Chain A
Amino acid sequence: MTVETLIPIAYLIAAVTFILGLKGLSSPTTAVQGNRIAATGMLIAVIATFFAADVKGGVPVILAGIAVGGVAGFAGARMVKMTAMPQMVALFNGAGGGAAALVAILEFARQRDAGVLEFGASLATLLALIIGAVSFSGSAVAFGKLQGLITPKAFRYSGQQLVTGGIAAATALLSLVLLGGAIAGSFAVEPMLLITVIALLALVFGVALVMPIGGADMPVVISLLNAYTGLAVAMAGFTLNNQLLIVAGTLVGASGTILTRLMSKAMNRSLGNVLFGAFGAATTAGAAAATASDDGRSIRSIGPEDAAILLSYAQNVIVVPGYGLAVAQAQHSVRELADLLESKGINVKYAIHPVAGRMPGHMNVLLAEANVPYDKLFDMDQINPEFQRADVALVIGANDVTNPAARSNPGSPIYGMPILDVDKAQNIIVIKRSMKPGFAGIDNDLYLDPKTAMLFGDAKDAVGKVVQELKKTA
């Protein structure tokens, strides 16, 4: 038995570790081990691959690629702030998609040189190329939007669907020409030229797909592109006849699809609605409706002293964290505030909207970092009935997830999205930097509510000041 015959066994072990890893990641107690098990499997697979016959001549190139990619990936992952996690995931996802597309191009070139460009393999290779390229450029746009390099607003122009559809049609047409050539065994056009044009069209299509989607929907898009990359990798597995790539890619494609559906469900919108949908188109109607309801009501601004007094006389306080808390890194200050209130015998709970922050679970991660105990965090459905018993709802940097327009204004672009019933609380304190609208780009009626007091400032700063005021009175 040579070393090479052991490679499939190593791949089998790796495939099992990926399944165990995903299963582990599904529960808080086993998640850390799950991730490490999968990483170990990955290491086994990579080491085994070095012994494959196809690799022999490429070792220097491979080692160089691993060195550069490994350092870049490690440094990026270590240095990124927790608030920037979503765009980091987008970036790594794009890298995977790009790798799948490049594998497809190399495999095409190899098959053409060997004169074995036939239909079945070509179809899989083509799908790996197109899906990988779409995921690569789409992820790059998602990264740019979340990082603020490109406008996070939905980018739309007249005839957009026609142009995007045209790009898709051109890609499909050229693909058919290529596949037809593979069946006939002769090509009217040089196949590598066709492949290059198809790859470029797919890249443009990825950009066209993500540009019209607003920043608030980016988590759903990243999750979808994650599933795409998985599918691209599975297709590359078909091309290379490599079972491990098929298993791992398909696992991610399937689980990513489920996750994407869970996320759009949390916003009460279908996936189609996110991709082609309402946010951009309905904004004008929503904006008009919001202005119309501005009937002379005004906002009430308070200072940290007033906020401290309001809080210290409360029995039940519900904290509603949002992206503003994440950006300001205010989780530790918030915990300090909660500790202080609890030492006065005040009941403090946290209301976590499914899409608070930029991703599901984003707030839980940040609050866990500040040692906020698990049993204080409540899901939307658990906490919503409790708002009417709350003396103070303290909204920290959350906006769209508290907007009553989602319940009452059919013209609003977020109409129908489940929200936290913050407006049912006796008093509402909103900590916010300015009156600037949230990520969905619409105004929030909550701020005009007579029960609402606005405490303007950076979340960390403002909470810190409230803490100081509370200490004075203690």
Chain B
Amino acid sequence: MTGEAIVAAYVFILAIFVGFEVVSKVPSTLHTPLMSGANAIHGIVIVGAMLVASAIGGSFGTVLGFLAVMLGTANVVGGFVVTDRMLAMFKQRPVRKKE
């Protein structure tokens, strides 16, 4: 294994443990927003899409690159905005007075 690959493997393994730890104590009320927030975070694939968008060029490569960036962006933007909308409903609001 090359040095780069072993570093990547370390990062991978450690991130698994962090992922388990970070979400293991979540109230069930937040399961849906959490899923949606995590969904937005894997939108980081947009960075990968940007890096390979012009990797092979040509019309085929350009179309694929465009699609990859487009899908990645939709994942990021849609994911964060939907999560924010869900969470807006959890904000503390002053209790309405009863007449």
Contacts and interface: CB of A to CB of B under 8 A. Distances in A.
Interface string A415-456: 000000000000000000000000000000000000000000
A362 B32 contact: yes
B56 A106 contact: yes
Contacts of B85: 77-78, 82
A85 B78 CA distance: 11
Given A26-B26, A77-B82, A31 B44 contact: no
B75 A73 contact: yes
Which residue of A55, A65, A86 has the most chain B CB atoms within 10 A of its CB atom?
A65
A68 interface: yes
Interface string B26-65: 1111111111111111111111111111111100011011
Contacts, number: 383
Nearest to B96: A371
Interface string A222-236: 110010011011101
B22 A251 contact: yes
B51 to A, nearest CB: 5
A69 B77 contact: yes
B61 to A, nearest CB: 7
Contacts of A96: 39, 42-43, 45, 71-72, 75, 79
A263 interface: yes
How big is the A interface, by class? Answer: 35 or more
Interface residues of B, number: 84
Contact of B32 (A110, A233, A360): A360
Contacts of B75: 69, 73, 92-93, 95-96, 99
A303 B42 CA distance: 50
A200 B35 CA distance: 28
Given A32-B84, A246-B11, A240 B49 contact: no
A118 to B, nearest CB: 10
Contacts of A57: 54, 57
B40 A38 contact: yes
A2 interface: no
A233 B16 CA distance: 14
Given A58-B65, A258-B23, A120 B5 contact: yes
Nearest to A86: B32
A323 interface: no
A254 B20 contact: yes
A361 B31 contact: yes
Contacts of A368: 89-90
A52 B32 contact: no
A266 interface: yes
A365 interface: yes
Contact of A65 (B26, B73, B87): B73
Given A103-B52, A245-B45, A254 B16 contact: yes
A35 interface: yes
Given A93-B39, A110-B56, A230-B38, A42 B65 contact: no
Contacts of B77: 69-70, 73-74, 77
A281 interface: no
A405 B13 CA distance: 44
A113 B57 CA distance: 11
A255 interface: yes
B30 A106 contact: no
Contact of A35 (B71, B83, B93): B83
A106 B78 CA distance: 24
A251 B18 contact: yes
B11 A243 contact: yes
Nearest to B65: A61
Given A28-B90, A61-B65, A359-B32, A45 B47 contact: yes
B50 A46 contact: yes
Contact of A255 (B38, B50, B51, B98): B38
B42 A113 contact: no
Interface of B: 1-2, 4-5, 7-8, 11-12, 15-20, 22-57, 61-62, 64-91, 93, 95-96, 98
10 contacts: A27-B27, A42-B80, A106-B55, A109-B55, A226-B38, A243-B11, A246-B11, A251-B22, A253-B16, A371-B93
Interface of A: 14, 18-19, 21-23, 25-28, 31-32, 34-36, 38-39, 42, 45-46, 49-50, 52, 54-58, 61-62, 64-66, 68-70, 72-74, 76-78, 80, 82, 85-86, 88-89, 91-93, 95-96, 98-100, 102-103, 105-107, 109-110, 113, 120, 222-223, 226, 229-230, 232-234, 236-238, 240-256, 258-259, 262-263, 266, 339, 343, 354, 359-362, 364-366, 368-369, 371, 373, 377, 379
